Chains A and B, each alone.
Chain A
């Protein structure tokens, strides 16, 4: 009886600690959300734990979306992410397919080459110079081509591809299907989940990239959302606000404006998040010991 009670106290403590951990992750984000949609006059007096808005006002979002720079950055980010991921998937799946075909001459040498590529990263200065030499500086395509293939993702995909039953391929080969047709008609549908997973990893990486974007893309017309956010929030550069035109700065809250920009930048990730959970963490999420 005493033992039973001890365990349940431990359980309560455990739940309390886990709740605290989860709240530490959630509250700062909800606090920002609350500040972004609050009445600007109330924001300075809002507490750090406050996850509900104080008064309701969408003025900061209206201001941000009235800013031409934000629209340009948003458009550029979407372009780099969407076109980039298409390239990522095309390159990675076709390479993974070729490398998992049996008896490919030179496979070992190719794998060694790829692993060297994975271990030794080129320096940022030389990456900049090469982009300059091929005239892609300040061109969105530089960021489309940057990281077109991640060896890590390629190897991940190869693991799934090599598990595809050979019997399926034999039938297709007898029908006279070529490699390209086999890849598109058999491999892609069967491996939908791993390809989607890899695609989401690429998409998250591309959406979140800020360092190389800030170096390769110098003009304001080519800026991406993360770089804009960094200038505004991290470096505290409010010159971007000048594009807002004639507004009374005292009638808005810079804190809320920052918060709203952060929230907008997070939205695509939040939209992808359920898919990531479903495809990548599916088994650990639904897992647990069956009792």
Chain B
């Protein structure tokens, strides 16, 4: 038995060689840095060995009031991007489906998928102009209705809605694809049966299409909750400014700022490790929940 196992491995040696580059990549650029995150338990020294300090940095972290603000910000922004955003792609897919085939529908689809492929730097550039108090479309409309031109990007009360709107703008179309393909999977005979029974379009949506989408909806919602600890730093880095930092500072931007910009490596690593640990638990939890409920997991 053992001998045949070895024989198999020798027989497949080329296959292992083919896996080697991928394995080496993860070892150097993934496993090694993760291993180095043990710095969270040490004091960083520029010269000489780091000093082991146990949970010191975590204790400091949990007694820092700013840390709780950052957790709160992360959770609020995640909630907006996961729960509030959730109905938009569903409604968009339903609406697209009602349009049936044709140039108009295709045009809407082509336009709505595009923002997903733009970087957050480009999107921020577009939105800065879009929201510009002096020349942007949004403020042009506001002032046409008698409102006052303001800068929504530097306003603490509006910045979260700017984040929400821009991320909906970017993802609504693309995220509707999963629902649209689920709709395409519905048997044509079911539609015919429903029509024979005299069902209206709204009734078809409510009693036939929405139940068919339930599985995908549960999967998407649960799996997105797994990413609750990452509220999208690449967006926030491009939309934050000093005026609104207290509202949009999340775990990732905090780690970046106090770690790489201010050089508090150990402390920032502790925050990062905390985020990674909770994040991993959440992803595993949501994966297995979703797998059990819907048969579809994150991988």
Query: Contact residues of A with B, CB < 8 Å?
Result: 3, 7, 10-11, 14-15, 17-19, 21-22, 24-29, 31-32, 35, 44, 46-49, 90-92, 94-95, 97-99, 101, 103-105, 110, 113-115, 117-130, 134, 145-146, 148-149, 151-152, 154-155, 178-180, 183, 204, 207-211, 215, 226, 229-230, 233-234, 255, 258-259, 261-262, 265-266, 269, 272-273, 276-277, 281, 283-285, 287-291
CA distance A215 to B8 in the complex (A): 45
Contact flag A35-B29 (CB < 8 Å), given A27-B137, A103-B8, A211-B237: no
Count B interface residues, CB 8 Å.
97
Chain B residues whose C-beta falls within 8 Å of the C-beta of A155 in the assembled complex: 299
Q: 1/0 per position for B182-206, CB-CB distance to A under 8 A? A: 0010001001000000001100000
Contact flag A123-B273 (CB < 8 Å), given A22-B107, A180-B14: yes
Contact B255 A98 (CB under 8 A): no
CA distance A148 to B20 in the complex (A): 13
For the complex, is B118 an interface residue (Cβ under 8 Å from A)?
yes
CA distance A129 to B35 in the complex (A): 12
Contact B260 A14 (CB under 8 A): no
Chain B residues whose C-beta falls within 8 Å of the C-beta of A234 in the assembled complex: 121, 124-125, 128, 238
Chain A residues whose C-beta falls within 8 Å of the C-beta of B129 in the assembled complex: 28, 31-32, 35, 48, 255, 258-259
Between-chain CB contacts (< 8 Å), 21 pairs: A22-B108, A22-B111, A29-B126, A44-B135, A91-B25, A95-B21, A114-B26, A117-B26, A118-B299, A122-B36, A122-B37, A123-B273, A125-B269, A126-B37, A127-B29, A134-B28, A145-B28, A155-B299, A284-B109, A285-B106, A289-B97
Residues of B contacting A: mostly: helix
For the complex, is B145 an interface residue (Cβ under 8 Å from A)?
no
Sample of 17 more A-B contacts, CB < 8 Å, known A26-B111, A269-B117? A3-B200, A18-B99, A19-B108, A25-B169, A48-B139, A94-B19, A117-B31, A120-B280, A124-B259, A130-B36, A149-B26, A151-B299, A208-B118, A210-B120, A211-B234, A284-B177, A285-B110
Query: Contact residues of B with A, CB < 8 Å?
Result: 5, 8-9, 12, 14-16, 18-19, 21-22, 25-26, 28-34, 36-37, 39, 92, 95-102, 104-115, 117-122, 124-130, 132, 134-141, 169, 172-173, 177, 180-181, 184, 188, 191, 200-201, 233-234, 237-238, 252, 255-256, 259-260, 265, 268-269, 272-273, 276, 279-280, 283-284, 299
Chain B residues whose C-beta falls within 8 Å of the C-beta of A265 in the assembled complex: 119, 121-122
Closest to A103 in B: B8
**Which of A7, A91, A226, A290 has a CB less than 8 Å from the CB of B201?**
A7
Residues of A contacting B: mostly: helix
Contact flag A15-B130 (CB < 8 Å), given A123-B272, A265-B119: no
Chain A residues whose C-beta falls within 8 Å of the C-beta of B114 in the assembled complex: 25, 273
CA distance A286 to B12 in the complex (A): 42
Contact A119 B284 (CB under 8 A): yes
CA distance A47 to B37 in the complex (A): 51
CA distance A178 to B15 in the complex (A): 10
Contact B21 A94 (CB under 8 A): yes
Chain A residues whose C-beta falls within 8 Å of the C-beta of B177 in the assembled complex: 281, 284
Chain A residues whose C-beta falls within 8 Å of the C-beta of B109 in the assembled complex: 281, 284-285
Contact A28 B137 (CB under 8 A): yes
CA distance A215 to B26 in the complex (A): 20
Contact flag A130-B191 (CB < 8 Å), given A149-B26, A207-B119: no
Chain B residues whose C-beta falls within 8 Å of the C-beta of A151 in the assembled complex: 299
**Which of B105, B126, B130 has a CB less than 8 Å from the CB of A288?**
B105
Q: Which of B5, B15, B109 has the most CB of A within 10 A?
A: B15
Q: Closest Cβ of chain A: how far from B147's Cβ, in Å?
A: 14
Contact A31 B137 (CB under 8 A): yes
Contact A287 B180 (CB under 8 A): yes
CA distance A104 to B109 in the complex (A): 42
Q: Which of B36, B109, B120, B125 has the most CB of A within 10 A?
A: B125
Chain B residues whose C-beta falls within 8 Å of the C-beta of A215 in the assembled complex: 260
Q: Closest Cβ of chain B: how far from A27's Cβ, in Å?
A: 6
Contact A119 B280 (CB under 8 A): yes
Q: Closest Cβ of chain A: how far from B197's Cβ, in Å?
A: 15
Chain B residues whose C-beta falls within 8 Å of the C-beta of A125 in the assembled complex: 39, 255, 259-260, 265, 268-269, 272
CA distance A207 to B118 in the complex (A): 9
Q: Which of B118, B122, B255 has the most CB of A within 10 A?
A: B122
Contact B19 A110 (CB under 8 A): yes
Contact flag A129-B36 (CB < 8 Å), given A122-B30, A155-B299, A208-B119: yes
CA distance A123 to B277 in the complex (A): 12
Q: Considering the complex of A and B, which 7 residue pairs feature the smallest CB-CB distances, nearest first?
A: A48-B137, A208-B119, A122-B33, A288-B101, A126-B33, A123-B272, A94-B18
Chain B residues whose C-beta falls within 8 Å of the C-beta of A25 in the assembled complex: 111-112, 114-115, 169, 173
Contact A101 B106 (CB under 8 A): no
Q: Closest Cβ of chain B: how far from A36's Cβ, in Å?
A: 10
CA distance A208 to B280 in the complex (A): 26
**Which of A21, A121, A204 has a CB less than 8 Å from the CB of B112?**
A21
Contact A48 B101 (CB under 8 A): no
